[in-house]
Structure 1
Amino acid sequence: MGGAFVAPGLINMHTHFSLSLPGPVGEELEAMDAAGIALYMADGARRTLLNGVTTVRCVAEKANADFALRRAIEGGWVQGPRIYTAGRALACTGGHGHGSDDTMECDGADAFARGVRTQIRAGADLIKLMISGGIAGEHETISTPQLSTAEMASAISTAHAWGRKVTAHAGPAGVIAEAVRLGLDCVEHGYELTPDVCREMAEAGTSLVPTLIVTRSGAFFDELGVPAWMQERSLGAGERHIASYRMALEAGVEVLLGSDMPPFWPFEGTSAAVRELEHMHAFGLDAPATLRAGTLGPARWLGIDANTGSIAEGKWADLIALAEDPLESPSALRTLDFVMRGGVVVRDDGRVRR
């Protein structure tokens, strides 16, 4: 490898290949038929892999296209990362994400149990719940609680009975604490955590995918034509978001890489996935722990650490090569010039001579 630094392929735990935010670009995506969505997602999967992300966890996709895309990648028909998916996220009527096909509306404990079983029937590897409001919902706030205790308990217990972990879009501390006590396995975003809730998460083994880039992505929103109300809510939550992340680190909560933005998206001189890792490092995680948060930590959460997440004999050869050392800084990932997935070279910027 000519003196390169070799690392495991990155694992992005908060991916939407069919992401559509408010604004003209999102409206265009929402207007696509199933075939158009599938082709759009296939292109995103290819670009994601070429940017060094060899495994993704999809946490709400449209038209069941994530299942078709997973089969196509596994069958070698299209190029992309390994996909673990939640299928459609489950929300209450009018809840976060309700206006898109990537979310299924449910009301009441029985409906949420049915929703979980529906996604598992389709092939879901995990379940995603929308338990609070968020940045992209016009008629809600980040701190709006959206699921009852009975609804959360039903969804989580049903998923666990079927051997599936549960993650939740969640902002406010109170609703997160309640879900953690009910057995929630992972929190997405965690915009408004408290030290007490972080301690509960650490004690319960509940992971956090902080998606720090979400509250510092004005240029991305401008590119998509995202309206002012959403930009103001997002950027305005930035300082509180960082404070919550630091509380989680202090409490010993395991944090994992998740970009929310498409992992491959060109952003501030690199990809969204790498920029997220840089934020995680800049706001308190040391460089080796940052690399683990993008590799072995996610592999353990997904239950695939026997096969990937680190470099060892017998594991899948999901590898990336860099000109600089990622144990010194995650910014070394900006020098990525080689990607291998399952022993097959999918990107080689001239390092290896055939």
Structure 2
Amino acid sequence: MSAAYSPEPSSLLLGNCTVLDARVVDGMDPVTDAGVWIRGDRIAAVGRYADVAAEARAAGALTNVDLDGAYVTPGLVNMHTHFSLSLPGSGGDNVKGMGAYDLAHYMADGARRTLRSGVTTVRCVAEKDHADFALRRAINAGRTSGPRIYTAGRALVCTGGHGHESNDTLECDGPVGFRHGVRSQIKAGADLIKVMISGGIAGEHESIHTPQLFTDEMTAVIETAHAWGRKVTAHAGPAEVIGAAVELGLDCVEHGYQLTPEVAARMAERGTALVPTLLVTRCKEFFDELGVPEWMQCRSLGAGPRHLESFDMAIAAGVEVLLGSDMPPFWEFEGTTASVRELEYMSERIGTARAIHAGTRGPIRWLGAESDLGTVEVGKLADLIAMDADPLADTSAFRDVRWVMKGGQIVRDDQNQEDVR
């Protein structure tokens, strides 16, 4: 573009709203009668409407957006996402049977629905055939609509380990094999590494207790990923397996079905986060919809009480807990989406303010994107959602998200019946 042609960025002034974000856990009050000035893809000003409007109008032409009394928050972040999920059963078999073109369209549809639901950022933790990288490129290029994607590519497993039945995992063995596995995902474009270090609820010939990596293999994964500047998250259930990985420098635990107070305390000391995925042990309706076999349903639902105890131990120890549904983020479940239902479960035990943190700023910090996302502040990307009820009073307010913006572009506006992209 020549210097002679430099178009002004789009300019939007949001008004008639209340703005709040995860800084409420630090004592910051919501901003009532608020205004948010969006210039291009970023927030140029936020505060009392009269002050923001004066600043925005002094800068030139802008479009006013009346949010009709809505509450505005950052978009939600789902840290345990699978757009190509294929659990045992008929529903999963249908996904496994898709060819490359069908899978791409299936995942793109899921990404679009995820963004419309108010989830503006996701962390994918095992996707098929590296289709997640193509999806991310398409979204970034504007060819399709979807959230910001941070992805692990294919998860690393031992031969015959958890999830080996699908091509969203890569079988490795021994330290050399796992080092190669890490590097292969980074070569493909992975932002983080996912590794299966124990059995789980979806493996017929294993149990949650089954350890699946030796210490030298876990060491190889964590050391190699860290050397390349990537964090590591691990599918893990039993406390002894988790504890060993935490000592080696593990950055995050997925599920954590069977923590102990001692291991939870060590996670807090070492800064290891937990994505509890509470839904996966209390979602019979979802399992029935996908035709999940009885053996898996029994194992999953039977683990529910201990799973909640484990989550409570993590909270008591001060572990950073982050929102992640494991179910597709947009999936309709118990009257809302999987992301919101997971947030509601978390809120019941940690309160609304901490739940909002767990669904916005906390995940963004883990992802290392806090300079751009996670709060409603000047200079940050305008990834915002709006709803009629106060989420600080009840996180069920997120059930009624009616307006979604990503990067300064309105992608959903129910009142004006707009689905822009």
Q: Give me the TM-score of the superposition, normalised by structure 2.
A: 0.83
The answer to whether the 8 Å contact 1:338/1:351 transfers is no
Is 1:299 the counterpart of 2:364? The answer is yes
State the distance in 2 between where 1:145 and 1:11 align.
30
Match of residue 213 from structure 2? 147
Partner AA of 1:334 in structure 2? R
Deviations 1:19-70 (A, max 9, x none): 0000111111111111111111000000000000000000000011000000
Pick aligned residue for 1:112 from 159, 171, 178: 178
Deviations 1:183-232 (A, max 9, x none): 00000000000000000000000000000000000000000000000000
2:117 aligned partner: 51
Q: Distance in 2 between matches of 1:98 and 1:271?
A: 28
In terms of Rg, which structure is larger?
2
In the TM superposition, what are the counterparts of 1:96-135 in structure 2 within 5 Å? 96-135=162-201
Look up the match of 2:289.
223
Number of residue pairs matched?
A: 353
The corresponding residue for 1:273 is 339
Identical pairs, percent: 67
- Report whether the alignment pairs 1:318 with 2:383: yes
Q: How does 1:31-50 map to 2 (within 5 A)?
A: 31-50=97-116
The partner residue of 2:234 within 159, 165, 168 is 168
1:251 maps to which residue?
A: 317
Residue 24 of structure 1 is aligned with which of 90, 108, 115?
A: 90
Partner of residue 65, structure 1: 131
TM norm structure 1: 0.99
Which residue does 1:344 correspond to in 2?
Answer: 409
CA deviation string 1:280-315 (max 9, x = no partner): 012x11101000100000000000011111100110
Q: What's the RMSD between the two structures over aligned residues? A: 1.1
**Unaligned segments of structure 2, at least 5 residues:** 1-66
Query: Does structure 2 conserve the Cα–Cα contact (< 8 Å) formed by 1:92 and 1:106?
Result: yes
* SS in structure 2 of the partner of residue 170 of structure 1: strand
- What are the ranges of 5 or more consecutive residues in structure 1 without an aligned counterpart? none
Alignment match, 2:15:
none
Cα distance in 1 for partners of 2:395, 2:196 equals 31
Give the corresponding residue for 1:156. Answer: 222
- Cα drift, residue 77 of structure 1: 0.3
Structure 2 counterparts to residues 75-90 of structure 1, below 5 A = 75-90=141-156
Separation (CA, whole Å) in 1 of partners of 2:185 and 2:92: 24
Offset at 1:328? 1.2
Summarize deviations over 1:94-135 as a string: whole Å, max 9, x none.
000000000000000000000000000000000000000000
Is the contact made by 1:172 and 1:190 (CA closer than 8 Å) also made in structure 2? yes
Distance 1:306 1:198 in 2: 29
Higher normalized strand content (fraction of residues): 2
State the AA in 1 paired with 2:282.
R
